[in-house]
Chain A
Amino acid sequence: MVDVSIPQLVDWLSRFRDLVTENRAYLTELDSAIGDADHGSNMARGMGAVMDKLGAATPATADELFKTVGMTLVSSVGGASGPLYGTFFLRFGTTAGAVSQLDAAALSAALHAGLGGVLARGKAEAGDKTMFDAMNPAIEALDAAIAGGADVAAATSAAAQAAAAGRDATEPLVARKGRASYLGDRSAGHLDPGATSTAYLFTALAAATA
């Protein structure tokens, strides 16, 4: 089985940066419907700052790499996605450890730790119309693919598809967390911006590990 290398992990982050930057206006439009219209600019700024940092010096191990990513997001995003994605990457790195490559099991473990961080921060549950609704099915699909004998590329591809489906499923939901929850029933009929950026995260991971 092929492992995921540090350059591939950096490529993941770079592709994520590209996706949130290209779709900055779209994410902000989604956020203006049910939030405070800053998700696109916040994520583009945050991931831009991350890639600037990594461009200056790329750490050689996963723990250092994702600590840099998490701390940069925490200090540059400003909105709630800062501590949420920041905690995701910090926990991802802590669990991945001081290694230069991740096999499928290690990737799954790190993603689970990241998801745990998102839960610790946001206290969201399935169906609350949050990034959890894309992230949780993505990791479940990754695990199922790995258990079925798939390689990393096939597993991350399955995760990306599940994240997109999870994102789409947020549309009819009534938000129960974050600013969107202030809207009550009026939050239904819109995709959740956080679930949408999380779907990009898994699209980027699949592309970087294809």
Chain B
Amino acid sequence: MIAIVLVSHSPALAEAALDLALQMVPGDRPKIAIAAGADDGVIGTDAARVAAAIDEVAGPDGVLVMMDLGSAVMSAELALEFLSTTSPVTLSSAPFVEGLIAAVVKAAGGATLAEVEGEARDALAAKRGALGEAEVDPPTEVSGEETTSTTDVMSERMTLVNRDGLHTRPAANLVSALSGFDAKVSIGVDRGTGGKRVDARSLISLLSLGAKTGEVLEVEASGPQANDAMARMRDLVADGFGEEPG
């Protein structure tokens, strides 16, 4: 599993963002270290602390570094000059909070450094979609070609019964529940014509569906464990992801 380092001007900001993100991953979690503030409680960033944090959590799968702004970016770049580890390290341009949540969920599912980085970078897609800005298609959207080229595709319709629909926590639940299966699962929402389908392993893509309570998910699964994945998905949706019914 990849590791994550959070670089912030403020320890309080980093800790709170991390708390929020960890609520999305009940099970196995990536190693995460915080490098926030400078000497003597100064609000700011310190490249030496960033380097130490990266070295602390670095493993063979690599480290994604997430930064707030301004000097955090420069300190992270400078930190790369001080590292002891030879693990791959990527600096993420993702927004701090949205990116962290997307990255933690994706990383917990065992995704590669490049996959986690891509998921985090697209983390604003859900918010932009919710605010009605130009339609944003996360790159993880499943193309028609990909789905039809697979021979055995099962499909099933499931109605969302929990009050808040497919919001962040249920979506995160779904990503981690499905990450254990050798199956490809895509999800769309039945809204008449031309709905998009997204990869169920991407939190941000799932959120970009904006699926509400009472709406019907069109789920497709393929691969060796498609059956099991579909059954798990069916249970989660029927149970309302353990949340209040609508």
Residues of A within 8 A of B (CB): 42, 45, 49, 71, 74-80, 82-84, 86-87, 90, 120-122, 178-179
Contact = CB atoms under 8 A, between A and B. Distances in A.
Interface stretch (B34-42, B155-163, B172-180): B34-42
Contacts of B42: 45, 76-78
Interface in B17-53: 37-40, 42-49
19 contacts: A42-B44, A71-B48, A75-B46, A75-B49, A76-B38, A77-B42, A78-B44, A78-B45, A78-B71, A79-B71, A80-B71, A82-B38, A82-B44, A82-B45, A82-B71, A82-B74, A83-B47, A83-B78, A86-B47
A78 B74 contact: no
B164 interface: no
Contacts, number: 64
Contact of A87 (B40, B45, B78): B78
A42 B42 CA distance: 9
Interface residues of B, number: 20
B202 to A, nearest CB: 31
Interface of B: 9, 37-40, 42-49, 70-71, 74-75, 77-78, 81
A74 B46 contact: yes
Given A74-B46, A74-B47, A82 B40 contact: no
Given A82-B46, A178-B70, 6 more contacts: A74-B75, A75-B49, A78-B38, A78-B43, A121-B78, A122-B74
Nearest to B71: A80
6 smallest CB-CB distances across A and B, nearest first, come from A78-B44, A83-B74, A78-B38, A80-B71, A78-B42, A83-B78
Contacts of A71: 48
Say what secondary structure dominates the interface of chain A.
helix
A75 B70 contact: no
Contacts of A76: 38-40, 42
B17 to A, nearest CB: 19
A68 B41 CA distance: 21
Contacts of A74: 46-48, 75, 78
A83 B38 contact: no
Nearest to B42: A78
A80 B74 CA distance: 7
Given A83-B78, A121-B77, A121-B78, A49 B44 contact: no
A196 to B, nearest CB: 18
Given A82-B44, A82-B46, A49 B71 contact: no
Of the listed residues B45, B48, B74, B78, the one surrounded by the most CB atoms of chain A closer than 10 A to its CB is: B74
Contact of A75 (B43, B48, B71, B77): B48
Contacts of A87: 78
